[in-house]
Structure 1
Amino acid sequence: MGTSGHDPERDAGSPTFSPSAELPPLPPDDLRALRRVGARWQVGDAVRALPVDPQSGEVRSGPAGTADRAGMLFLPDGPGRLTATPIAERQDTAEGRAVGVLRRVLLGRPLASASILRERMPKLVALPVLASDLLSSVAYGPEAMLTVLVLAGSGALGLSLPIAAALVLLMIAVGTSYRQTVYAYPHGAGSYLVASDSLGPRAGLAAAAGLVLDYVLTVSVSVSAGVAAVTSALPGLGPYRVPLALAVIGVLLTGNLRGIRAAGHVFAAPTYLFLAAVLGLIAVGVARSAAGGFTVVAAPPTPAVEGLGLLVVLRAFASGATSMTGIEAVSNAVPVFRPTEWRNARTVLTWMVGILIVLFAGLTLLIHLNGLVPRADQTLLSQLARLTFPTGPWYAIIQAATALVLLFAANTAFNDLPRLLYFMARDGYVPRRFLHLGDRLALSNGLLALAVAAGVILVAFGGRTHSLIPLYAVGVFLAFTLSQTGMVNHWRHRRQPGWRRRATVNAVGAALSAVVLVTAAITKFTAGAWVVVLAVPLLIYLFRRVRRHYDHVEQTLGLHPVTTGRGGPEPAADEPPAVVPQQVRHLFLVPVARLNQAALRTLAYVGSLGQPALALHISPEQEEADRFRAQWTTWGDHIPLETILSPHRVVIQPLAGYASALRLHHPDLTLTVVVPDVVVDHPWQRLLHYRTEQRLRRALRRHPGIVVSSMPTHLTR
C-alpha cells in the first residue's frame, strides 16, 4: 500500500476500479508453484480430445422451442476465447422474464466492461453530485453553532463572527489538505488510504470506521430531514413519514444502480437549484444591508441558561463544524472523474471549498446583521429567506430547493461509501463481494449495503433521526484528524520540495480537527456520541476478523502453501495434496429412492465415467428393502448396491453419516455423491418434491473430500 516514488502524472491514468479486481493476478511464488504442479500432471490424450468444437461459429443458448431461454450469444474471439453477449430479455420462467423486463426498465441495459471510461463524470456534473452533502450542510451548520451560543444569552451571539472566522480557517486548512491528498493518492480512498499508509493499518481502519458511520448517518439523517420538510408543508403526509423516507432511499439506490453518469445527470439539478437560490439570497441580503450601512439589528433579548465560557465556545465551534461534513467526498471518489482524474478532482474540490466558505460566511453574516436567533418553529434559513423576500415566489423556491437538496444530499454517501468499501475489500477488511461491479458498472453491493443500513436506522428511529446529528462530528472529524496527521507523516518521510509548507498546512488542519473531535466526543457524549465511541472500536475489531479469515484462506488455498510455526507463516515443504490427477482416488455414491428414469439416467451417467461406483437405498423397513433389492436384480445389478435400514424413517442423516464414515475410514478417497434431481417448470412446484441435493449438501458441507452433485432430469409436457 506504500506510495514511495509516486508520480501523479504517471499514476493518473492507471485503472483503479477495474472489473477484474475480483480476480487479481497470482503472486510470483504461486506462479512458480503452479509451474511445478503442472509439470507433474499425467493425463491421457482422451482428456484433450473434445467431443465438440467449442468455437464452431456462433453459439447460441436457448434457441426457440427449448427449455433453456437464457438468451446469450457466444462469439469466437481468438483461439480458446469466447465473448458472451445477452441477446434477449428471456429467463426460464414467466416470473423471471417479468423481473428481467422490470430490471431493464429501472436500471437500463447492461454495459460492457470497456464502457467504464465513458461512465466517468465531467467536472460540472461531479461538482453537484459530490458536493450535495457538503453544500446542504450550510442549511443547518450556522444554526447549530448559534443554538449553542444562545444558551449563554443573546449577548453571546456576537461571538458568531469570530467563531465563523475560525471555522473558515478550518475549512481552508482541511480543503487544502485534501487537495494535497488527491495529489499524493490519485486513486482515491482518501482518509482510509492516507492513514493506513502513513500511520499504520489500525489508524486506517479507525478512519474507515468513522467514515462508514458518517456515510450511513448522512443517508438516514438527510433523508429524514428532507421528508420532515415535506411533511411540514403537507401535514397530511405526516403518518407516512417512514414509507416516504424509504421510498426516497429506493429512488437514490435505483438512480445510482443505473451507473455513475446516469445518477450524476439525475441528481445534479437539485444541488444547482439550491446553490443558485442561496447565492441569490446572500446577494440580495448583502445588497440590502449595504444600502443600510451594514447596521446590525439587535437580537431579541434571550435569558442565559449557561455561563459564557471556553466550553460553550468550543461546543459552538464543534457544532458549526457540521457544515464541513462531506468535504472528504472528492478524495474518496477520484476515479469517477474523467482523465486526468487527480487534476479534475483537485479543481472540483477547490470549487466546493470556495462555495462552502461563501455560503457559510454569507449566511452567518446576514443572520448576525438581521439579529436572528434560533427558533423551535422555524429554521434560521427560513427566517432569513422570509425576511429577505417578504413577497413573491422566492421564499417558496428557497424552501423547496432546501428540501430537495436535503433529500438528495444522501447521494454523496451513495457515491463514496461503495468506493471506500471497494478499497477495504481489496485489502481484505470487508467481504470481497464489495469489489464486484454490477452490469451497469456500479459498485452494486456497496450501494445495497448502504441503502439497507440507512433504512434500518430510519425504521428503528421512526423517521426521526435528528438525534443522530451529534454523531456526525465525531465520526467525520476522526477521519479528518487521522487523514491530516497521516499527510504530515507523508511529507516528512518523503521530504519533497516544499514539504515543510505542506506539512504545516496539514498540521494546522489536524490540530483544529482534533479540537472538534475531542470537543464533540466529550460534550455530546450523553447526547449520542457514545454510540460512535463504542462503534468505532467494534467496527475495527470486525474489520480485523474479516482480514484474519481471508489471510487464513490465502494460507490454506494458495498454490504456494505455508505452515504456521513458532516464527510465523513459513513455506511448506511439499505441494498441497491432491492437485494432480494421479493423486485422486474416486468413489461415486448414488442415492436411489426408486427406480425411475431420473435414477436410471443418473446411474448411466456415473457408469459412463469408468470409475468405482456404489448405489445407496435408504429403507424404513426390511420388507421394503428386500423388495427394492429384487427390483435392482431385475435391472441387472450393474452397480453394487447397499441398502441401509432406517427404522426411524429419516433419510438425509443416514446418507450423510454413511458417506462421512466411508471418508473417515478411507481418507485417501474422494467421494462424489450424485443425486437424481427432477427439474420443474414453476417455483411453486418445488414444494411438491424433496430437495435431497440441497439438504444433503448442507449436511456434508463441513466434511472434507466429499463432493455433492446432481443429475438433472427435466419434466417435459
Structure 2
Amino acid sequence: MPCVTLCAVSSTDRDDGGAQEGGAPSPDALLPALDAEQLGVLRRVGREWGRVAGDPQAWRRALPVDPDLGRYPPASEIRPVRFGRFVPVATVGGQPPAVETAGEDTRTSRLGRVGSGVRRVLLGAPLRSTAIAHERMRKLVALPVLSADALSSVAYGPEAMLAVLVLAGTAGLRYSVPIAVTITFLMLAVGVSYRQTIRAYPHGGGSYIVATANLGRLPGLAAAAGLMTDYILTVAVSIASGMAAVTSAIPSLQRDIVPIGLAVIAVLLAGNLRGVRQAGALFAAPTYGFVIAVLVLVAVGLYDAGGRGFHPTATPRLTATEGVSVLLVLRAFASGSTAMTGIEAISNAVPVFQPTEWRNARTTLTWMVGLLIVLFAGTVALVHFDGIVPNPQETVLSQLAHRAFGSGVGYVFTQAATAAILLLAANTAYNDFPRVLYLLARDLQAPRIFLRLGDRLAFSNGIVLLSVAAAAIYAAFGGKTAPLIPLYAVGVFLAFTLSQTGMVVHWWRLRDRHWRKSLTFNAVGALLSAIVLITAAITKFTQGAWFAALIVGLFILVATRIRHHYDLVAEALALHPHAVEIPSRTITPPRSREGATPAGAPVPSPALRAPSGTGADAEGEETPEEIHPLLIVPIAALDLAGMRALAYAASLRQPVLALHISPSAFEAERFREYWNQWGDHLPLKIVLSPYRAIVAPLVNYIESLHRQRPDLTLTVILPEIVVRHRRHRLLHNRLAPRLRRALRPLPKIVVTTVPFHV
C-alpha cells in the first residue's frame, strides 16, 4: 500500500491536485515559474496597465465583500482516525463539514437519474470536503502489505522455470537447482541494490523517478513503460495464477477460468473506484497466511526427504521435445527470474513507514528478500526431492501440498492462502499503476486527466485504464499463466536495470561517504538485471517479448508527443510584450453601491442583505439595477491566457477579485511577488491549499463568498485553452464544466470562460 499524503478534495474535485507520493518533487513544480525575461515583460505590461487601470486602492474599496475568509488547517492539526481513510477538514470559510456526501443530484433527465443511482449503488456516494489520511505502518504490518507482489511470485516463478526445462525431458530438469541458485543470488544482489536506493532516496525512489533524475527523460520514460507493463501483467498473471490454484483444488471450474477471472478484475475495479483501502492489519493476513503455509509445506517436505536420506524421487518418464542447449537454459533462467517481481515496492513507499522511515524500510526490505529467498529456494528444493514436474491440470505448488498434506485441511489452507495472496498482489498494482500515471502527468508526459481524483478520492482514470488493459490481456491469453510470463520479464527487468543504472550515476555524482561500496552494489544489480533483460528479450522474443518491446517503444513515442504538445502550449502562453491584452481605454471601478460592503467592513446580517426567499425568488431580479455583480478570476499563472481573463474582467468596470490557489507557502510568496512586479492593479486573494487540491478550495471559497453576500451575483471568469485539433482535447482539463456542476445548487453564480486559442 503506497503512501498517501493529506489532500483536501470535494465531491466535484476531479482536479490536478492529487496526492503526491514519496520521491515526487515539490508541488510547486506544478505551477510554472517565470524567468528573468518573462519578469521583464511582466513589468512592462504592468506599466501599461497602470496608465489605464487607475488607482489600485479604488478597486479594493469597490469590493462588496471581505476576501479574507480564513485558511485551511495545517497538516499538523489533522488527526486521522485509526481504521478510516477519511478525516474531516474544515473549509476555507470556516464551516466544519465532516466526511459527508454531495447534495441532491441535479440531473433532470430520467436517464441521468438512473445512471446516478447505479453509480451510487456500485461506487457509493461522492465524498466531499475530506482529507486522505496519511497512513504510517509498523514494520510487521508494512512487510506483508508491501511484499505481497514479490512473495506471491513464488506461486508461479519456479513453475515457469520448470515449464521450460521440462521441454528437454529429465535431462533438462537437472538444471533446475543450478538455475535456482543463480536466481537466488540475483535476488540477493538486487535486494542489496535497493537498500542503497532507499538510502539515497529516503522519501521514496521508484524506477521512474531514479531513472529520470540520473539518466534523463527518455530512460525515465522507458522505466515508466516497463513499470506500467509490469503492473498490467501483475493483474493478469496474478489472476491467472490464482485461478490455477483454485482449479487445482476444484477442477470442474477449469472451463470457466476466463469469465471468473474477468469477474474478479471487475470486482477489483469497483472496489478501487470506491476508494476502498482496508487497514494494514487486514491486508497483512493473506500474506502471512501464505508465508506460513509455504514454510510449513517446505518444512514437512524436507522432513520427509530427510527420512529417505535426501535421495530425490524419480520423475515420471518424460518425452523431450528439444535438446538441452544454452538457449533453453537461458529461457528457463529468464522465466524463473519473474519470481523477483515486486521487489522494488518497498523503495517506492518509504514514507509509509513509521520514523525513522528509511531505516525501517531497509529493515523491512531485508526481511522481504530473506523470506523470498527461503520460499523460492525451499520450493525448488522440494520439487527436486519429490520429483515434481509441471502438470497443466494442477500447479506445482498444489502437487507439493498434496504430497505433504494429502487432501486435508493443510492442502485446502495452502491453496486458499495462495489464491488470497495472488488476489492481493493484483490489487497492489491498482495502487502503483495510477501513481506512475500521476507522476507522468505531473511531468507533462501523460494527459492531465490522470492527475484527477474521482468522486471517491481515487485516481479513477488510471484505475479504469489498468482494468481494461489487464482484462484484455487476460482474456486474449485464455487466463493461462505460462503464455504471459514472456511478456512479464521484459518490463520487470527493464525497470530494474534502468533504476540500478541510475543509482550508479547518482553515487558517481554524489561521492559521499561509502559511495564506492554503494556504487558497487548498484552496479552489480544493474549488470545482473541487464543480463536477465537481454536474455529474456532474445530467448523469448518470438514468444511474446516482441510485444512488450513494441509497447515500450509506442509508449515512449506517445509520451514524447504529449510532452511536445504541452511544450508548444507553454510557448504560446508565454508573455510577449506585444501579445498581452490591455484594456484599450481608461477603466475605473464602480463606487460602492448602497447596501454594498467594502472590503474590511463588517458584514451585515443575512436578514439585512439577502433577498427574500430562496431558489427562484432569490434570482428574481428583473432590472439591471437590481443585479449587484462581483467578478472572480481564478488565475493559476500570469501568462497570456491569465492576463487576457484579467483584462476582460476589468473592462466590465465591475468589482473584480483575482483568486489564486497555492499548494505551498513558498509558491504563494512567489506568486505574490509576480503580482507585485505586475503592479498589483487588482485585488488578489491567495488561498493556501496545503493538501495540493485545486478545485475543492476554489469551490469552497466561492461558496463562502456566497454565504457572506447571498445578494451578490458572483461571476467566475476562467481562462480556457482552446486547442486546434480534437485529439488534443483530452490533454487539457475542462475546469468550467466541473465548476458549473459543483456550483449548480447555489443560486446567483455564473461561470464563464475567456478562450485562448493555441
Distance 1:494 1:365, change over 3 A: same
Alpha-carbon distance in 2 for matches of 1:428, 1:56: 33
Residue of structure 2 in register with 1:645 after alignment: none
Q: Does 1:447 align with 2:463?
A: yes
Give the deviation of 1:92 after TM superposition: 3.3
Residues 56 and 467 of structure 1, relative CA distance in 2, 3 Å threshold: closer
Quote how far apart the aligned CAs of 1:324 are.
Answer: 0.7
Give the corresponding residue for 1:656.
none
Once structures 1 and 2 are overlaid, which stretch shifts more, 150-159 or 245-254?
245-254
Contact 1:434 1:446 in 2 (8 A): yes
- Match status 1:121 vs 2:137: yes
Q: 1:130 aligns with which of 112, 134, 146?
A: 146
1:373 alignment partner in structure 2:
389
How far, CA to CA, are the matches of 2:205 and 2:380 in structure 1?
Answer: 32
Q: Closer, same or farther in 2 for the Cα pair 1:266/1:451, shift >3 Å?
A: farther
Show CA shifts across 1:538-593 (max 9, x none).
101111111112222222224xx3xxxxxxxxxx4x27412668599xxxxxxxxx
**Which of 187, 193, 197 is matched with 1:181 structurally?**
197
Query: Quick one: which of 577, 580, 584 aligns to 1:577?
Result: 580
Equivalent AA in structure 2 for residue 200 of structure 1: G
For residues 207-228 of structure 1, give each alpha carbon's deviation from its aligned partner in whole angstroms, at most 9, with x where no partner exists.
1111111111111221233234
Counterparts of 1:377 and 1:86 in 2: how far apart (Å)? 49
Q: 1:111 to 1:176 in 2, by over 3 A?
A: farther
Aligned amino acid, residue 242 of structure 2: G
TM-superposed CA distance for 1:475, in Å, is 1.0
Deviation string for 1:414-473 (max 9, x for gaps)? 222222222222222112333345576544443333223223333555545652221011
**Following TM superposition, by how much is the alpha carbon of 1:73 offset from its aligned partner in structure 2, in angstroms?**
8.8
3-state DSSP of counterpart to 1:303: coil
Partner residue of 1:92 out of 92, 105, 108: 105
The offset of 1:183, in angstroms, is 1.5
Counterpart-to-counterpart distance in 2, 1:535 and 1:333:
26
Partner of 1:76 in structure 2? 93
Q: Deviations over 1:158-197 (max 9, x none)?
A: 2222211111110011111111112212333421122222
Comparing 327-336 with 313-322, greater Cα deviation is found at 327-336
1:27-42 aligned within 5 A:
27=34, 29=36, 37=45, 40=49, 42=53
Deviations 1:103-134 (A, max 9, x none): 78588x55734x542x3433333322222221
SS at match of 2:174: helix
Whether the 8 Å contact between 1:75 and 1:84 is mirrored in structure 2 is: no
Q: Which residue of 2 aligns with 1:194?
A: 210
1:48 to partner: Cα distance: 5.0
Task: Map 1:382-531; keep pairs closer than 5 Å.
Answer: 382-390=398-406, 392-437=408-453, 442-461=458-477, 463-464=479-480, 466-531=482-547
Instruction: Determine the C-alpha separation between the residues in 2 that align with 1:532 and 1:343.
Output: 35
* Residue in 2 that maps onto 1:112: 130
Following TM superposition, by how much is the alpha carbon of 1:74 offset from its aligned partner in structure 2, in angstroms?
5.8
Residue 219 of structure 1 aligns with which residue? 235
The answer to which of 434-443 and 377-386 deviates more is: 434-443
Match of 1:365, SS?
helix
Q: CA RMSD in A?
A: 4.5
State the shift of 1:260 in Å. 8.0
After the TM superposition, which residues 135-150 of structure 1 pair with which residues of structure 2 at under 5 Å, given as runs?
Answer: 135-150=151-166
Identity %, equivalent residues: 53
Closer/same/farther in 2, CA of residues 221 and 605 from structure 1, 3 Å limit: farther
Aligned-partner Cα distance in 2 for 1:671–1:455: 54
Q: Which residue of 2 aligns with 1:251?
A: 267
CA distance in 1, matches of 2:744, 2:101: 25
SS of the residue corresponding to residue 537 of structure 2 reads helix
| Contact persistence 1:222–1:406 (CA under 8 A) | yes
Distance 1:301 1:538, change over 3 A: same
| Structure 2 CA distance for partners of 1:670 and 1:241, relative to 1, 3 Å | farther
How far did residue 405 of structure 1 move? Answer: 1.9
Q: Deviations over 1:249-283 (max 9, x none)?
A: 24334444565852644433222211111111111
Show the counterpart of 2:345: 329
Alignment-derived partner of residue 677 in structure 1: none
Superposed displacement of residue 85, structure 1: 6.5
State yes or no: 1:271 paired with 2:287: yes
**CA distance, structure 2, for counterparts of residue 207 and residue 536 of structure 1:** 9
Deviation (angstroms), 1:135: 1.0
Secondary structure of the 1:409 match is: helix
Distance across 2 between alignment mates of 1:345 and 1:260: 24
Q: Which runs of 5+ in 1 are unaligned?
A: 1-12, 59-71, 562-571, 585-596, 611-667, 673-697
Q: Deviations over 1:355-400 (max 9, x none)?
A: 1000000011111111222222222111111111125311111112
After TM superposition, give the deviation of residue 349 of structure 1 in Å.
1.6
Question: Secondary structure of the residue that 1:400 maps to in structure 2?
Answer: helix
Change in 2 beyond 3 A, CA 1:367/1:314: same
After superposition, where does 1:45-60 map in structure 2 within 5 Å?
45=58, 49-51=62-64
Residues 111, 441 of structure 1: 8 Å contact kept? no
Whichever residue aligns with residue 91 of structure 1, its letter is E
Residues 428, 713 of structure 1: alpha-carbon distance in 2 compared, 3 angstrom cutoff: closer
Cα distance in structure 1, aligned partners of 2:252 and 2:298: 33
- For residues 481-518 of structure 1, give each alpha carbon's deviation from its aligned partner in whole angstroms, at most 9, with x where no partner exists: 12122222222222223222222222222222122111
Contact residue 73 and residue 86 of structure 1 kept, 8 A: no
Please give the alpha-carbon distance, in whole angstroms, between the structure 2 residues aligned to 1:581 and 1:116.
Answer: 50
- Answer yes or no: is the 8 Å Cα contact 1:255–1:266 preserved in 2: no
Who is 1:358 aligned against?
374
Of the two, which has the highest radius of gyration? Answer: 1
Tell me the amino acid that sits aligned with residue 551 of structure 2. A
3-state DSSP class of the match of 1:326? coil
- Output aligned runs, 1:269-308, within 5 Å: 269-308=285-324
Partner of residue 207, structure 1: 223
Give 1:36 deviation, angstroms: 6.0
How far apart are residue 521 of structure 1 and its match?
1.0
Counterpart Cα distance in 1 of 2:438 and 2:292 = 34
Q: 1:20 to 1:28 in 2, by over 3 A?
A: same
* Length, aligned pairs only: 576
CA contact (8 A) 2:101 2:125 kept: no
Q: 1:644-689: CA deviations, max 9, x gaps?
A: xxxxxxxxxxxxxxxxxxxxxxxx99999xxxxxxxxxxxxxxxxx
* TM-score (ref. length: structure 2): 0.66
In 2, are the aligned partners of 1:414 and 1:450 still within 8 Å (CA)?
yes
Q: Which moved more, 1:294-303 or 1:315-324?
A: 294-303
**Conserved? CA contact 1:256–1:414, under 8 Å:** yes
> Counterpart in 1 of 2:557?
541
Residue 57 to residue 192, structure 1, CA distance change in 2 (3 Å) = closer
- Alignment gaps of 5+ in structure 2: 1-19, 72-88, 108-112, 588-615, 630-647, 653-719, 726-735, 748-758
Distance 2:579 2:570 in 1: 13
Cα distance 1:499–1:245, how it changes in 2: closer, same or farther (>3 A)?
A: same
Q: Distance in 2 between matches of 1:335 and 1:438?
A: 23
Separation in 1, partners of 2:143, 2:649: 62
Is the 8 Å Cα contact of residues 437 and 450 (structure 2) preserved in structure 1? yes
SS at match of 1:262: coil
Contact 2:490–2:537 under 8 Å retained in 1? yes
Q: 1:489 to 1:297 in 2, by over 3 A?
A: same
Once residues 415 and 526 of structure 1 are traced to their aligned partners in structure 2, the CA distance between those partners, rounded to angstroms, is 32
Is contact 1:89–1:101 with CA below 8 Å preserved after alignment?
no
